[in-house]
A and B are shown apart, each in its own frame.
Chain A
């Protein structure tokens, strides 16, 4: 892969927070249109990696480029879903308005009515299959419905890359499957590069082109067949992990589940 065609390029990058290296010497490249799983134990700096690409966390060393340009805050080419709890049930703003904020929510000045913007918002809501409930307040929607709306919000500004921080967390199995397929569809059909931080890799295992793993102060990159193996994952997580193959040929990762605790990863 030539550097010019890469969506993400890190060159000996490091991030320091509160006087400690979160990770350092990170060198990797992600190609445009790739679906990338970001794996690693809690607190290893997965969220920090996404924030570094967003320009929200400064590098202490090295370089980071997105689509061939140095990272900068407010890059409209990137759509972002932060790690979050659900929206407050009392939050009184329509889902469609939340999507619209992804289009012009960062612009100053008095808003003017725009047919083009309205139809762009409606198209994105249709793309993620959320038309039925887009007129309701976001707080009233289920976790899976909120996640679809947020994906529409992330895409509506014309993003060519999605940075998704545990978007499948707190969803039931059906929704994990459905949202994974939706993201894969967007990645394939629209050529959008996806970096997805996953706590549980199984729902996205069939789709991923590449794995970025963050552990022990390092950020490494590999092909799924090199990484999704019993010995590699056990070493990576520092805990026993087994990779099994089902009778229909799919891989399943077992034992990845740590006690649920997200506080350490919230930088």
Chain B
């Protein structure tokens, strides 16, 4: 039965791009959850939408608008939260304000845009079955660069995430690292969003990391579990979508949510028993 799954080129590309995005989102997502920045990740995965709409309206490539808006939002969060720990109240208030404004801008550009709404829909919910070879190559480049940056800065980033005061005293540039992490996240999201859509990027950025952190408190193992879960739900979701009529975004988010709910429930039962 699975023999037919990879017969078509578009499915091969969907699996390639999906795998790459899952690798990156699963890895970066571990840090997102550890740092308590799920809401910032949510904002970053949505904020590109008005950017792309603005670019289309002005006659530029949507990628340009995506990158510009994501990077601007990341810098704004880094600056507004410069004196506080990642994931603090001040940061989440700033994130919420920027997110609401960006959705308002999205509404404006949608209103001004006279063309078909299909492009907007693709941006929000992805068009993973319509991925070209150039998209795969671009995704590959972004994933390799971001993964290398995260691997290189991984230890200081964990240190700065769990114990910022001591990390700073030991010479870790905590604020620069915080801004750098958001920037890498913004670039990665900007490029992957146009391929798999806002919904999938956000789902893969939070649920696997959150599930992994429930399962283990070892950093390296947690990172590996997060990546493995992101890959598993992406592969399974793509296969289910191929053999059924349901949208991929729904299937992958449901799988991710189901795993998280299962792990939370089993931990609750164990601590209660």
Q: Size band of the A side of the interface?
A: 20 to 34
Q: Which residues of A contact B153 (CB under 8 A)?
A: 108
Does B2 sit within 8 A of A, measured CB to CB? no
Check if A106 sits within 8 Å of B167, measured CB to CB.
Answer: yes
16 CB < 8 A contacts A-B: A54-B169, A73-B168, A76-B170, A92-B213, A92-B217, A94-B217, A101-B167, A105-B155, A105-B156, A105-B167, A106-B155, A106-B171, A109-B152, A110-B154, A111-B154, A137-B217
Per the 8 Å Cβ criterion, residues 202-221 of B in contact with A are: 213-214, 216-220
Contact partner of B156 among A73, A80, A106, A136, CB < 8 A?
A106
**Bound form: Cα–Cα A157–B170 in Å:** 10
Nearest CB on B from A29, distance (A):
22
**Bound form: Cα–Cα A104–B165 in Å:** 16
Contact partner of B169 among A73, A91, A136, A137, CB < 8 A?
A73
B161's nearest neighbour on chain A, judged by CB, is: A93
**Bound form: Cα–Cα A173–B220 in Å:** 37
Check if B152 sits within 8 Å of A74, measured CB to CB.
Answer: no
Does B242 sit within 8 A of A, measured CB to CB? no
Q: Which residues of B contact A73 (CB under 8 A)?
A: 168-169, 171
Interface of A is mostly: loop
B interface residues (Cβ-Cβ under 8 A, vs A): 34, 151-156, 158-159, 162-163, 165-172, 213-214, 216-220, 222
**Bound form: Cα–Cα A101–B171 in Å:** 12
Interface of B is mostly: helix
A-B complex: 4 closest residue pairs judged by Cβ atoms: A74-B171, A105-B159, A82-B165, A137-B217
Does A193 sit within 8 A of B, measured CB to CB? no
Contact partner of A101 among B152, B162, B169, B213, CB < 8 A?
B162
Q: Which residues of B contact A110 (CB under 8 A)?
A: 151-152, 154
16 more CB-based (< 8 A) A-B contacts, given A104-B155, A105-B155, A106-B170? A80-B165, A80-B169, A82-B169, A92-B222, A93-B34, A93-B219, A97-B219, A98-B163, A101-B159, A101-B163, A106-B155, A108-B156, A111-B154, A111-B155, A137-B217, A157-B170
**Bound form: Cα–Cα A211–B79 in Å:** 41
Check if B166 sits within 8 Å of A153, measured CB to CB.
Answer: yes
* Given A107-B155, A108-B155, A110-B152: A80 and B214 interface contact (C-beta under 8 Å): no
Q: Which residues of B contact A104 (CB under 8 A)?
A: 155
Check if A80 sits within 8 Å of B166, measured CB to CB.
Answer: yes
Q: Which residues of B contact A97 (CB under 8 A)?
A: 217-219
Does A254 sit within 8 A of B, measured CB to CB? no
Q: Which residues of B contact A87 (CB under 8 A)?
A: 162
**Bound form: Cα–Cα A78–B169 in Å:** 9
Considering residues A80, A93, A94, A153, which has the most beta carbons from chain B within 10 angstroms of its beta carbon?
A93
**Bound form: Cα–Cα A78–B162 in Å:** 20
Does A84 sit within 8 A of B, measured CB to CB? yes
